């Protein structure tokens, strides 16, 4: 075995951890070094991840082991599913970093912000690369700790209160997950993601335990994944700065939860066992309820970021829905939504941040005519919102299409009704925003753009990332059938691991 | 078997005692002498730990006198682990103390009093260190008793050092409790000698039979040790004593001294018959300690009081797992000791960090600590990392210990124990974050005052906290040492 393949994974982690730690020690005024380190780390990570993806495609194996206890190891391993999540996180991290540098210009505590920001991405990558359940738990808990300082970054009483709520939810979820992992360990020892069917021999003797453990594990990851009724922290965490919200919703926290559900159902239990235990249907119902309920709540919000937050609650559950339908087509739909939702949602949050920073508009009722003042931003917003609704040929359409195909294949036609209802609700809460922004007269004239910033909207580093991701969300839908799309990769995952 | 080179065993005891004498004789505050002997002691202890790991149990008879007349020393895995733990925490505290006493000098007439404090600190601390190592390494109960008294007296002296009325009251109470505990212990030892005819600990333990005098002896010994370890409901004396002492002393008391008596309790209670019969007693008290300590810690207004009550809660974890030892093949013992070491490092780091806040700000009111991160990022970070290990979150020794506890408990079908540990870490998180949220609060200070805290103080706190983190990824090594029996 060649050594570089083992070190590659460590290097991928270090490429954001080391800059993060250095940034902590930099002086607040040392802007150029901080920016250079941020961009350098993000770029190096992108390159390393590309090397890894090509390697996986060619059938190379990447794994690192560290013996943590006599009978259990810390394992980093890159399988195709982790590559999907790693690629998403590192691309969006690069964009969010660019955005955050401009967004936080002249605000205090930037060294701390970017330090934790980098650590947060390191930990997310760790979650993606975790090769067994303990390693997953290890990074999952660290994610709570690295995101907490970002949530309270503003330091206002509301931010501190939101931080408390965030911790209450996520630490409780962590305890549940811990309990489930320890319980499973006591039953069978180390749970490796790459070895399927480990739990099947327990079926005869420990049926009840297996069901209970499943419930505990799903509840544990479901807190971060914002499954109803565990979603209460998410709208409150919206007090964080826009790049943090973007990161929390599109890349790190919520996605880690959804990724955890995938790992538990597909790799720890495996679909046959989950079906045998009768656990797919409850999960399916939970996901369907979350999809509808989140959309309904989103409809009731006037605050833009809160509406987006509830929309996340709804959209992320498509992933769980696809997994729990349980046939290859639906799994593809759910899995690819991990990427699609990330790209679209990060666009929306970037745009919301731009509007709030430039025009001081936080509520949808105040957005009349924003499109004229910030055409690029609102253009990106419109594209991403269309994608969320599921308009062909955008990214969201592809996800919903495969989910629907899978549902019909499984004989669950009633799910089509859920998908249609959800689409209607998405349209109901996104279209009015778009209508207001483009077709209504502003209440008063907009303040003029300040300074030579390059774009009319605001600083180019604030505009370029959302425009890029908006185009990307169009492209991944349009070119879904090409060999380089996320869908193609997901097809590869399902064909190699979870096929019939 | 006594191999010639196992005279290494005596150095972790002799070196600090020599240092204590030299420091005591010194005319001016013996900072350099103290630090020198601290380094020497740590080095000797680490060598001992490494030797036990490499070669197995070491034993030594001082002056070649055999028991029962001579002093016999014996280092098995558990003892070596405790000595090593004391070395790491002790070294960090010593380096911290050097900076601490220097930083407190303000150039006015109160300096004479502060210099006098330092003059007493070093000999007392080194005496305590030597006595603790003696406690861990002694093989017979009479020597253990002597070491126990030495530990108690030097701890009381250290507690009283700050000279403020609250700490004098606390020290007085500590002294009385300690004497009562020692008395009870000595009485129990007398009973043992009468019934077993030996003072050798191993012989006593293997001769444990459920006859009335033996039960009486064990009850007396245990009560004395529990009182000194401050297990709930005997914890009343601990928080004021630990919180009002000088900050390095707080770290020593919470991180090391209580581990000494806990270790002895473990030595007496490792017999399976005993654990099967009454193992639930310490466990129930431990559960009470976890809940009550966490509740009290959460309600405190002062940071050092919070950390001290947290010690009350964490002592609970040290006892709650006694039933797990009933299965010697399991990882119960490993979990146990892993918890003790992690707590020593984490709690030491937290007290040291709290000491830097107290020194800089002149108070340690939790609600008024906002902005301290800006001023002292290193020790703020150290405090947060220590808290992380206390909560049992990865990557930390506390996480490994918690994981071992819960998997072992579930494996043995002791569900209630697993639940206590998991719920307990939720409670821990509640009070730790009460403090950490204030310390890490991003609120900015209106003006930047002059930094009074020496860099060595902040960094030694961080080093200790990082050791607690390191324990989270090198578990096989300490567990292997622990397994030397």
Q: Is B276 found in the same domain as B128?
A: no
Instruction: Look at the block and give the residue holding tokens 């209440």.
Output: A443
Q: Give pLDDT, residue A448.
A: 66
Q: Which residues of A touch B (CB under 8 A)?
A: 24, 66-70, 74, 108-109, 112, 134, 137-139, 141-142, 144-145, 149, 152-155, 160, 163-164, 167, 171-172, 174-175, 178-179, 182-183, 185-186
Within 8 A of A185 by CB-CB distance, chain B residues are 407
Report the share of chain A in percent with pLDDT over 70: 97
Half-sphere exposure of B217 (CA within 13 A, CB side): 24
pLDDT, residue B2, reads 44
Q: In this model, does residue B5 exceed pLDDT 50?
A: no
Considering only CA atoms, which of B146, B253, B139, B257 is closest in space to residue B199?
Answer: B139
Contacts of A213 (CB under 8 A, 6+ apart): A180, A183, A184, A187
Contact criterion met (CB below 8 Å) for A389 and A420: no
Closest CA to A385 of A473, A468, A476, A463: A473
Length of chain A equals 500
Q: Which residues of A touch B441 (CB under 8 A)?
A: 152, 155, 160
Query: What are the tokens at A65?
Result: 């082991």
Question: How do residues B376-389 score in pLDDT, each as one tens digit?
Answer: 989 999 999 999 99
Residue B423 lies in a domain: yes
Domain assignment of residue B278, yes or no: yes
User: Please, is B120 exposed, middle or buried when counting C-beta atoms within 10 Å of its C-beta (0-12, 13-18, 19+)?
Assistant: middle
Name the residue among A321, A320, A310 with its Cα closest to residue A348: A310
Number of H helices, E strands in chain A: 20, 2
Residues of B in contact with A130 (CB under 8 A): none
CA B177 to chain centre: 18
Please give the average per-residue pLDDT across B176-201, as a whole number: 89
> Which of A4-8, B383-387, B471-475 has the lowest average pLDDT?
A4-8
- Quick one: how far is CA B303 from the chain centroid? 19
Residue B436 is assigned to a structural domain of this protein: yes
Distance from C-alpha of A104 to C-alpha of A116, rounded to nearest angstrom: 14
* Contact assessment for residue B20 and residue B30, using Cβ atoms and an 8 Å cutoff: no
Residue among B410, B429, B442 whose CB faces A153 most closely: B442
Task: Specify the DSSP class assigned to residue A446.
Answer: P
Cβ–Cβ < 8 Å for B331, A68: no
Whether B54 is in a domain gets the answer yes
Q: Which residue has the tokens 């739909």?
A: A333
User: Poorest-confidence range of A40-44, A61-65, B127-131, B347-351?
Assistant: A61-65
Chosen domain end from B137, B163, B193? B137
Q: Determine the average pLDDT of the residues in B220-229.
A: 92
- Mean pLDDT across the stretch A282-304? 93
Three-class DSSP category at A36: helix
DSSP codes of every residue in B93-117: HHHHHHHHHHHH--SSTTHHHHHHH
Residue A5 pLDDT greater than 70, yes or no = yes
- Between vectors from CA B387 to CA A233 and to CA B253, what angle results, nearest 5°? 155
The answer as to whether B194 is a domain residue is no
Determine the pLDDT at residue B197: 81
Q: Is A427 left (phi over 0), alpha (psi -120 to 50) or beta?
A: alpha
Residue of chain A whose alpha carbon sits nearest to that of B387: A145
Nearest to B340 by CA among B383, B414, B286, B297: B286
Residues of chain B whose C-beta is under 8 A from some C-beta in A? 331, 377, 388, 391, 393-395, 399-400, 402-404, 406-408, 410-411, 418, 422-423, 425-426, 429, 433, 437, 440-444, 473, 475-476, 479
| Residue B420 domain-assigned (yes or no) | yes
Residue in B399, B410, B440 closest to A149 by CB:
B440
Helix (H) / strand (E) element for A72: namely strand A72-78
Residue B94: give the domain boundaries: 1-137
In this predicted structure, what is the pLDDT of residue B211?
80
- Chain B residue numbers with beta carbons less than 8 Å from the beta carbon of A109 are 442, 444
Average pLDDT over residues A232-238: 87
Give the whole-number percent of chain A exceeding pLDDT 90: 58
Contact B479 A69 (CB under 8 A): yes
Query: Does the beta-carbon distance from B437 to A152 stay under 8 Å?
Result: yes
Shortest CA distance to B292 belongs to which of B402, B428, B388, B405? B428
The pair of structure tokens assigned to A449 is: 């753009």
Two tokens, residue B426: 């939720």
Whether B453 is covered by a domain: the verdict is yes
- ipTM for this prediction: 0.91
Helix or strand (DSSP H, E) at A151: helix A133-151
CA distance B474 to B338: 11
> Is there a contact between A179 and B393 if contact means CB atoms under 8 Å apart?
no
Q: How high is the pLDDT of residue B273?
A: 66
Average pLDDT over residues B458-468: 96
DSSP string computed for B241-267: HHHHS-HHHHHHIIIIIHHHHHHHHHH
C-alpha span between B144 and A223 (Å, rounded)? 51
Higher pLDDT, residue B110 or A435: A435
**Cα A124 from Cα A140, distance rounded (Å):** 8
| Nearest residue, CB atoms, A160 vs list B404, B422, B441 | B441
**Contact state of B402 with A178 under an 8 Å Cβ cutoff:** yes
Q: Match 């982790």 to its residue by tokens.
A: A82
**Torsion of the alpha carbons at A400, A402, A407 and A408, rounded to the nearest 10:** 110
Q: Is residue B439 part of a domain?
A: yes
Q: Which of B78, B110, B137 is the last residue before a domain boundary?
A: B137
Confidence of residue A340 (pLDDT cuts 50, 70, 90): very high
CB contact under 8 A, A160 and B437: yes
Q: Give Cα A118 distance to the centre of its chain.
A: 16
What are the DSSP calls for A222-251, one per residue? HHHTT-TTS-THHHHGGGS-HHHHHIIIII
State the CB neighbour count (10 A cutoff) for residue B113: 9
Give pLDDT, residue A25: 86
Residue in A with minimal Cα distance to B403: A182
**Strand partners of residue B59:** B74
Choose among A163, A167, A165, A138: nearest CA to A150.
Answer: A163
To 10 degrees, the CA torsion angle through B438, B441, B443, B444? 90
Query: What would the two tokens of residue A386 be?
Result: 């269309």
Domain boundary among B137, B158, B189: B137
**What pLDDT digit, counting tens, does each position of B145-166 carry?**
999 999 999 999 999 998 889 8
Residue A455 binned pLDDT confidence (cut-offs 50, 70, 90): low
Query: Considering its fold, how many domains does chain B have in total?
Result: 2
Helix, strand, or coil (residue A274): helix
Cα separation, B356 vs A338, whole angstroms: 46
Contact A70 B393 (CB under 8 A): no
Residue in this structure with the two tokens 């299409």, named with its chain if needed: A401
Distance CA A8, CA A44 (A): 12
If pLDDT is split at 50, 70 and 90, which confidence band does B466 have?
A: very high
Name the average pLDDT for chain B: 89
Instruction: Name the token pair of B296.
Output: 């009290």
């Amino acid at each position: 075995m060649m050594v570089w393949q083992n070190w590659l994974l460590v290097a991928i982690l270090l490429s954001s951890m080391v800059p993060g730690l250095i940034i902590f020690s930099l002086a607040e005024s040392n802007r150029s070094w901080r920016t250079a380190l941020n961009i350098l780390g993000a770029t190096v990570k992108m390159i390393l991840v590309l090397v890894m993806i090509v390697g996986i495609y060619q059938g190379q194996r990447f794994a690192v082991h560290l013996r943590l206890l006599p009978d259990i190891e810390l394992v980093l391993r890159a399988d195709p599913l982790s590559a999907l999540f790693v690629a998403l996180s590192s691309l969006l991290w690069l964009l969010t970093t660019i955005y955050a540098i401009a967004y936080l210009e002249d605000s205090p505590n930037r060294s701390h912000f970017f330090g934790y920001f980098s650590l947060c991405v390191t930990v997310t990558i760790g979650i993606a690369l975790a090769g067994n359940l303990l390693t997953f738990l290890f990074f999952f808990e660290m994610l709570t700790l690295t995101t907490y300082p970002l949530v309270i970054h503003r330091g206002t009483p509301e931010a501190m209160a939101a931080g408390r709520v965030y911790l209450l939810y996520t630490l409780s979820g962590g305890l549940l997950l811990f309990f489930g992992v320890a319980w499973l360990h006591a039953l069978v020892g180390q749970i490796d993601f790459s070895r399927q069917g480990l739990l099947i021999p327990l079926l005869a003797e420990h049926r009840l335990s297996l069901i209970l453990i499943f419930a505990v594990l799903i509840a544990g990851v479901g807190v971060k994944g914002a499954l109803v009724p565990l979603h209460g922290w998410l709208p409150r965490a919206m007090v964080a700065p826009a790049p943090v919200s973007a990161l929390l919703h599109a890349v790190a926290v919520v996605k880690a939860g959804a990724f955890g559900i995938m790992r538990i159902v597909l790799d720890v239990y495996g679909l046959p066992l989950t079906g045998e235990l009768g656990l797919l249907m409850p999960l399916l119902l939970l996901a369907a309820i979350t999809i509808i309920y989140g959309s309904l709540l989103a409809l009731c919000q006037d605050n833009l970021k809160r509406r987006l937050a509830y929309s996340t609650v709804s959209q992320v559950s498509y992933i769980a829905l696809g997994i729990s339908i349980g046939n290859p087509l639906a799994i593809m739909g759910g899995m690819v939504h991990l990427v699609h939702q990330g790209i679209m949602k990060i666009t929306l949050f970037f745009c919301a941040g731009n509007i709030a920073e430039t025009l001081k508009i936080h509520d949808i009722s105040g957005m009349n005519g924003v499109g004229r003042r910030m055409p690029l931003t609102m253009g990106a917003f419109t594209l991403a919102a269309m994608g969320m609704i599921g308009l062909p040929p955008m990214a969201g359409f592809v996800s919903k299409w495969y989910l629907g195909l899978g549902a019909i294949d499984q004989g669950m036609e009633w799910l089509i009704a859920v998908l249609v209802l959800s689409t209607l609700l998405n349209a109901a809460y996104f279209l009015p925003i778009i209508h207001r922004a483009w077709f209504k007269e502003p209440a008063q004239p907009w303040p003029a753009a300040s300074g030579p910033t390059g774009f009319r909207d605001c600083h180019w580093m604030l505009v370029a990332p959302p425009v890029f991701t908006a185009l990307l969300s169009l492209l991944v839908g349009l070119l879904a059938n090409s060999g380089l799309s996320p869908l193609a990769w997901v097809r590869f995952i399902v064909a190699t691991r979870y096929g019939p | 078997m006594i191999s010639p080179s196992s005279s290494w065993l005596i150095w972790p005891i002799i070196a600090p005692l020599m240092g204590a004498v030299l420091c005591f004789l010194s005319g001016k505050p013996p900072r350099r002498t103290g630090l020198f002997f601290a380094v020497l002691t740590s080095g000797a202890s680490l060598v001992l730990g490494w030797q036990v790991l490499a070669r197995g149990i070491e034993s030594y008879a001082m002056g070649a006198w055999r028991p029962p007349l001579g002093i016999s020393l014996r280092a098995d895995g558990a003892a070596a682990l405790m000595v090593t733990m004391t070395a790491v925490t002790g070294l960090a505290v010593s380096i911290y103390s050097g900076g601490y006493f220097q930083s407190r000098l303000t150039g006015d007439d109160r300096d004479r009093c502060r210099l006098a404090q330092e003059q007493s600190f070093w000999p007392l601390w080194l005496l305590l260190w030597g006595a603790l190592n003696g406690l861990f390494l002694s093989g017979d109960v009479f020597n253990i008793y002597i070491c126990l008294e030495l530990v108690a007296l030097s701890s009381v002296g250290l507690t009283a050092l700050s000279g403020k009325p609250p700490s004098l009251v606390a020290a007085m109470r500590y002294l009385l409790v300690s004497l009562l505990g020692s008395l009870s212990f000595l009485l129990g030892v007398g009973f043992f000698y009468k019934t077993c005819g030996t003072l050798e600990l191993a012989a006593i333990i293997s001769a444990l039979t459920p006859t009335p005098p033996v039960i009486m002896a064990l009850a007396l010994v245990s009560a004395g040790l529990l009182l000194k370890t401050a297990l709930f409901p005997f914890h009343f004396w601990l928080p004021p004593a630990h919180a009002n002492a000088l900050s390095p002393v707080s770290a020593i008391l919470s991180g090391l001294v209580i581990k000494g008596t806990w270790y002895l309790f473990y030595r007496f209670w490792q017999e399976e018959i005993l654990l099967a019969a009454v193992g639930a007693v310490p466990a129930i008290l431990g559960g009470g300690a976890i809940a009550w300590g966490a509740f009290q810690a959460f309600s405190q207004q002062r940071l050092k009081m919070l950390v001290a009550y947290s010690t009350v809660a964490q002592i609970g974890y040290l006892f709650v797992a006694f039933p797990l030892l009933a299965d010697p093949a399991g990882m119960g013992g490993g979990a146990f000791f892993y918890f003790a070491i992690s707590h020593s490092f984490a709690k030491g780091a937290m007290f040291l960090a709290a000491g830097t806040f107290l020194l800089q700000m002149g108070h340690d009111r939790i609600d008024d600590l906002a902005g301290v991160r800006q001023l002292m990022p290193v020790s703020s970070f150290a405090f947060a990392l220590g808290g992380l290990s206390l909560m049992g979150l990865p990557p930390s020794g506390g996480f490994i210990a918690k994981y071992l506890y819960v998997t072992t408990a579930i494996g043995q079908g002791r569900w209630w124990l697993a639940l206590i540990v998991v719920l307990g870490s939720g409670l821990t998180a509640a009070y730790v974050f009460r403090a950490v949220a204030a310390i890490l609060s991003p609120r900015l200070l209106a003006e930047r005052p002059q930094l009074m805290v020496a860099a060595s103080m902040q960094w030694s706190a961080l080093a200790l906290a990082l050791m607690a983190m390191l324990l989270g990824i090198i578990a096989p090594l300490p567990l292997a040492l622990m397994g030397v029996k």
